[in-house]
Structure 1
Amino acid sequence: MTVVLLSLYVCLALALSNAAPVQHDKIMIKDAPEGHSHPKGEDHHDALPDRCKGIEFNAITPDEKGNTFFFKGDHLWKGFSGPAVLSNSIFKELDEYHHLGHVDAAFHMHHQDDPSVHDHIYFFLDNKVFSYYNYTLEQGYPVEIQQEFPGIPSHLDAAVECPKGECITDSVLFFKGNEIHSFDIKTKSVKKKVWTHLPNCTSAFRWLEHYYCFHGYNFTRFHPVSGEVTGIYPKDARKYFMRCGEGFGHGGNASRQRCSEVKLNAISTDDKGRTYAFQDAMYLRLDTHRYGSHHFPISRLWKEISGGVDAVFSYGENMYIVKGGQVYIYKSAAHYTLIEGYPKPLKEELGIDGTVDAAFLCPNQHIVNVIQGQKMYDIDLAATPRAVKKERPIPFPKIDAGFCDANGVKVFIGPEYYLYESPTILALGKIKPAPQKISPEKFNCEE
């Protein structure tokens, strides 16, 4: 009996091995080698892609919480470190459209005038667009791309948001080949540009007011209005946008400055609500820390400024930068532009001789407070000509930077600051308030 059963098992095994393969419901993945397909649920899900081996991303976008997602095939990475996971583990409805291949493009909507779409994430798959908020697909989606974004083609290569102030209006840049379709979110009008100097972008990413075209495992930074590329590009994305261990150190592995070592030269908020801290020849955005913090050369935004600054303040639509007895005035519209005729001497512009230590302007005021040594000068910016209106002593022999917002006046000395209710309290106060330490979260430093 045992021999008979064994013979039956052998015959059954041989029959199964020679039978036609079971037909699975197959899903073609665009990233599979030509002539290959991956059956749904099979082991291609287990073979996690490794972005540190130099892959090409299909899409990149932040979410409303500041997390950045990198997409490749049916996988994604959340943040600048960590392994890949299946896209449908976070955006589950995308799984229902796997026959479309991968996410072609994605962007984070910036349109504060319309809360119904602001902070949503849009995904583009073939000729469809998906809208997500808080990782939940909005009711009624997906829809045809033309229905949501008239004039925008299907099968996109990349997309990136461009808020007003960086572009002329709240816009989205859509990439297809070397054609860029600039979509005005409010009017739904489209302007087509051809940027042959840019590589074909397979994904695009806005990070801390900078715009990046990703191609292969490289990236190229570009101007969102003109497409201009300045600097030496392309650069390896693994050195800047992910943590890939030894040999890929710049962005993710570079050691951060200790908070006790921070010494600021200036801080200011412009009329668009963008807050900048200046330290030596670098600047840092303080209002975007949820997207990560990074120091950039001052000359990247303010091209005419080399090295550090003495003081910075904003008045109306202009940003004033004081350096070495000269005043530079920049229009704070899309990518700061130096006003014709500047720089001018400090004496001619503000009526002060020599150099200054700090300057600040409180919200909705036209009196700039300029600090020079142990003296604070009040200057009326609405007056012509501008001259010192009042001179008052302050209880510090020298300060590094000053800043005024709705919370009061902050006087920075090294890594600490002193908070006063107003410039008048600063000048008249006999007792110094207790010093406070700068925030490591905002200033990208280690305690």
Structure 2
Amino acid sequence: MKASLLALLGGASAALAQVRGFNYASQGQDYNGFASQFKTAAALAGADDFTSARLYTMIQDGTTDTVIDAIQAAIDTKTTLLLGLWASSPQDTFNNELTALKSAIQQYGSAFADLVVGISVGSEDLYRISPIGIAQGSGVGQTPDVLVDYIGQVRDIIKGTALASKPVGHVDTWNVFTNSSNAEVISNCDFLGLDEYPYYQTADDNPIGNAGDLFFEAYDKVANVAGGRPIWVTESGWPTSGPVSGEAVASVDNAETYWQDVACELEHRGIDFWWYILADAGATPSFGVSNNGVPLYNLACNATSGHTSNSTSSTSTTSSAAANSSSTATASGSQTSSTLNGTATSAIGGSGSSGTATAAGSAITSTVVATASAGSTASASGTGFSFATGGSSGGSSAGESGTATSTGANAVYTGAASKVEGSIAGLVIVAGVAAFAL
């Protein structure tokens, strides 16, 4: 039974697969450097499937408009790419970025396009012209009107090419996304790339114990102005060494705590993210998670790790029942940028008990699980994908029975004979079978 369900869900996994990776600077890098780093990231102990690279520019270091060597390295190592075009520059310089983008499309075709998850026009350009950025001496930025124009130029470049369907967006900090003067940039984006570092939030209560809360508070504030657009976390991290920043202390232990509270929670929620950074030996502060390919701290997500948000953006309820009892659990929520999108329900009943779980949701990727032994009943409905199972398999005793119903635009029903019908268009799951685990 479990094998058949996993086979069913396998078709959706590729489309819904989470993207995880690191940021990669261009300065001083060539093909060998990029390829070596991509291989190191993919094999990093504890970091599961960190096989994506976020780039800041399309131009190879030391050239005017030659395609960055990271493209060929990504093709050879099967590394997915969040492309970047440096936008804090006048039009004649930005033209070089456009030239390199066109050259990459012509030179590499579908081998390149198939790896691209998105295209970011600019990186923290609005932050650098904000009062905070100016006070920090952050350098040259860009105005909202020019960014909107540059985004339009990129859309024109990729129109009719292998990159035509790729989302185009912008990367910046939470406080400029929530500034209404930048709303036009948001309205011209397919996604928002969020750079968020509680370590630097010295105006807030920012010790490591509060860092997770600060991060997800910022994420939720951006979600409130995103208009339903996906929010990708394009930079975050905590330094292993460096100066004290407000109440934030740089240390290996604190970097590991932040990884567990933020990176593992992003992984748990299914939010795409690119961590800062794989390695940066000698930098101050130093955010690198590895040295010579060896993790500086535990990168495996603990079973109890991750941040528990108080936000109403997602709700999950679980109810467990002992033998000879009944259980019912319901929950609802609406989280637009997570695999937990809509409704999450779980009901568990022991042998000889009755378990009932019901769920309804209109979101595309919701997850509902009900597990019961004897006399199980499970039902699900949704405008996305609804799935229900029931029967005497998956560890139930002989003679036990179960029922399952499923309704919705794309409904799947599994009865006692483990028959599966329907198609996957989203992800709402209800399981009425004992010992089944996703």
Higher strand share: 1
Instruction: Indicate the structure (1 or 2) with the bigger Cα radius of gyration.
Output: 1
Q: How does the TM-score come out when normalised to structure 1?
A: 0.29
Higher helix share: 2
Q: Which has the higher contact order (CA 8 A, sep 6+)?
A: 2
Q: How does the TM-score come out when normalised to structure 2?
A: 0.29
